[in-house]
């Protein structure tokens, strides 16, 4: 980052946007004090919180003023149970038990978390973990909220809940700074949009100016669509494909508990990109683990090429990119991570192929870096590269575009299409409508561990997709964006003269 000059007023809602690696996350770390208190580097200029240098605050005092929600919620958890996690920050502040209980009640009601209290964090979906991370920040009741890709693992319903929370905070004179790739849910009520590129603030937009940008301009800037729900599908299924037969799939996390996956008989096309959609906790990720044999207690079989495969056999013919890709990065550098998925028969040939894969994912300049040193989006692309290198018959991708900008989303889509052309069967779990319209050729909808419907990507599928994605609130917001209206009511408390945060040089 360089030449950053930015003043953020009390009660403002600011959106930081730009391609992956543009400096959004670094800017949030300057505001919440992780730079310079945690991340090392050379820092010049001033970062002021209420006209006092952020270097002069101890980090624990900054944490009471600036609540943070990170891209990967697991990196900020300290407990194993949800209720304890929500009040963890309050305990650190030494608040009385009665005050903690009152804050827990307020946060639970405002974020609609009643069903998530007293739950194991290990049993939550990615979206539910993100909700708990937001709640733990909210319970501290800071003056400033800094959120880094908070919607990356959320379904549409959860994003609506998140939008309600973000929209509510400024009414309490809270300052909200959000670094995001998904723009549609924030644009209707942000005050300013800060567009960054190569570590520099290139442009500041008002909401009205930003809404007036043509979709092609947004794509050229590497930004996602303002209305991702009414695109045209680009992928079409091929006729006369062979079939995958899934029979008597049954899995439960508890010995005598309700089934988390219950699929008695399912026939799907082979060699297609099958989008798996549904709300958080619908059973999508559990189904994926059962399909590739990671959950050994799964009952049922998969029939492919007239061969019936049990759990062990499925592990040999499938590869899964997990939602939390930190679970599957093992080596010391990115090149070795890709080579790890190959059989090692010819190192020279495999290195050439690995370089080609990394180039297709815009990772050629990361070859010698440690995978765990990369950004969330870069890690995601490394894991996708490993899947491509594995050359397995069935490939499963769980939220592969979380944290990715438009350009890298398109690169992932192109790679998935390339795998489809090679005859691979792709299962794609996603809440990303742009990715679905870009590459999916078949859709499958899950709820409560069951498959409610599945069909080719045709006009019927588009209508079903829109009925799932486009809820009344989201549709109203996107209509406002499309019509470029500026008469959206904003919370009170704008335009205060005292600045919370100022960054100079």
Q: What confidence category does residue 430 fall into, taking pLDDT thresholds of 50, 70 and 90?
A: very high
Tell me what the mean pLDDT of segment 389-418 comes to: 90
Q: What confidence category does residue 322 fall into, taking pLDDT thresholds of 50, 70 and 90?
A: confident
Has residue 497 got a pLDDT over 60? Answer: no
| pLDDT tens per residue, range 137-164 | 999 999 999 999 888 878 888 788 788 8
Provide CATH 3.40.50.300 ranges for the chain: 6-230+484-504, 243-467
CATH of domain 243-467: 3.40.50.300
Candidate from 108-112, 134-138, 180-184, 473-477 with smallest mean pLDDT = 473-477
Has residue 85 got a pLDDT over 80? Answer: yes
Give 453-458 contacts, CB < 8 A, sequence gap 24+.
Answer: 454/266, 454/268, 454/274, 456/237, 456/269, 457/233, 457/235, 457/236, 457/237, 457/275
pTM for the structure as a whole:
0.81
Task: State what percent of residues in the chain have pLDDT above 70.
Answer: 92
Average pLDDT, whole number, for the chain?
87
pLDDT at 218: 95
> How far apart are alpha carbons 43 and 368 in whole angstroms?
25
pLDDT at 477: 43
Tell me what the mean pLDDT of segment 184-211 comes to: 95
> Are 201 and 501 contacting, i.e. CB atoms less than 8 angstroms apart?
no
484: left (phi over 0), alpha (psi -120 to 50) or beta: left
Tell me what the mean pLDDT of segment 210-222 comes to: 94
Candidate from 67-81, 390-404, 477-491 with smallest mean pLDDT = 477-491
Tell me what the mean pLDDT of segment 172-181 comes to: 93
| pLDDT tens per residue, range 352-398 | 999 999 999 989 999 999 999 887 778 888 998 999 999 999 999 99
> How far apart are alpha carbons 379 and 321 in whole angstroms?
11
Measured from the Cβ of residue 140, the count of other Cβ atoms closer than 10 Å reads 23
pLDDT at 266: 94
> How far apart are alpha carbons 499 and 161 in whole angstroms?
28
pLDDT at 30: 94
> Are 295 and 482 contacting, i.e. CB atoms less than 8 angstroms apart?
no
pLDDT at 474: 44
> Quick one: fold of 6-230+484-504?
Rossmann fold (3.40.50)
Has residue 486 got a pLDDT over 50? Answer: no
For CA atoms 249, 253, 254, 260, give the dihedral sign: negative
Tell me what the mean pLDDT of segment 39-60 comes to: 90
Has residue 475 got a pLDDT over 60? Answer: no
Q: What confidence category does residue 494 fall into, taking pLDDT thresholds of 50, 70 and 90?
A: very low
């Amino acid at each position: 980052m360089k030449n950053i000059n930015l003043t953020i007023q009390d009660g403002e809602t600011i959106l930081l946007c730009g391609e992956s690696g543009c400096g959004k996350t670094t800017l949030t770390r300057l505001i919440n004090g992780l730079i310079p208190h945690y991340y090392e580097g050379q820092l010049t200029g001033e970062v002021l919180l209420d006209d006092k240098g952020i270097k002069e605050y101890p980090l624990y005092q900054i944490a009471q003023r600036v609540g943070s929600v990170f891209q990967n919620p697991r990196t900020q958890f300290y407990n194993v149970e949800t209720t304890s996690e929500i009040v963890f920050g309050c305990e650190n502040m030494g608040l009385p038990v009665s005050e903690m209980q009152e804050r827990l009640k307020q946060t639970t009601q405002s974020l609609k978390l009643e069903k998530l209290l007293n739950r194991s964090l290990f049993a939550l979906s990615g979206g539910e973990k993100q909700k708990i991370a937001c709640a733990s920040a909210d319970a501290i009741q800071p003056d400033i909220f800094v959120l880094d890709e908070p919607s990356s693992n959320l379904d549409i319903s959860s994003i609506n809940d998140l939008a309600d929370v973000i929209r509510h905070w400024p009414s309490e004179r809270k300052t909200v700074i959000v670094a995001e790739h998904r723009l549609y849910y924030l644009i209707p009520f942000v005050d300013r949009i800060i567009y960054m590129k190569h570590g520099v603030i290139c442009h500041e937009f008002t909401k009205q100016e930003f809404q007036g940008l043509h979709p092609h301009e947004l794509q050229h800037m590497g930004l996602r669509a303002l209305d991702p729900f009414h695109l045209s599908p680009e992928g079409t299924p091929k006729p006369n494909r062979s079939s995958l037969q899934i029979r008597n799939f049954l899995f439960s996390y508890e010995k005598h508990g309700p089934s988390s996956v219950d699929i008695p008989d399912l026939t799907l096309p082979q060699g297609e990109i099958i989008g798996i959609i549904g709300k958080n906790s619908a059973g999508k990720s559990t189904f994926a683990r059962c399909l590739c044999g990671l959950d050994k207690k799964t009952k049922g079989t998969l029939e492919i090429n007239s061969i019936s495969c049990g759990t062990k056999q499925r592990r040999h013919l499938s590869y899964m990119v997990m939602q939390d890709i930190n679970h599957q990065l093992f080596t010391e550098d990115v090149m070795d991570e890709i080579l790890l998925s190959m059989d090692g028969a010819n190192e020279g040939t495999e290195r050439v192929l690995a370089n080609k894969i990394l180039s297709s994912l815009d990772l050629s300049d990361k070859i010698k870096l440690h995978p765990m040193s990369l950004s969330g989006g870069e890690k995601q692309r490394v894991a996708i590269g490993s899947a491509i290198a594995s050359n397995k018959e069935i490939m499963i991708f769980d939220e592969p575009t979380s944290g990715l900008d438009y350009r890298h989303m398109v690169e992932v889509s192109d790679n998935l299409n390339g795998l489809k052309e090679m005859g691979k069967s792709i299962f794609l779990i996603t809440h990303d409508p742009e990715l679905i319209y870009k590459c999916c050729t078949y859709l499958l909808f899950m709820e409560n561990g069951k498959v409610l419907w599945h069909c080719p990507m045709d006009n019927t599928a588009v209508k079903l997709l829109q009925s799932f994605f486009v809820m009344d609130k989201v549709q109203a917001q996107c209509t406002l964006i499309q019509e470029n209206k500026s008469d959206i009511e904003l919370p009170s408390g704008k335009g205060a003269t005292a600045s919370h945060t100022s960054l100079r040089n």
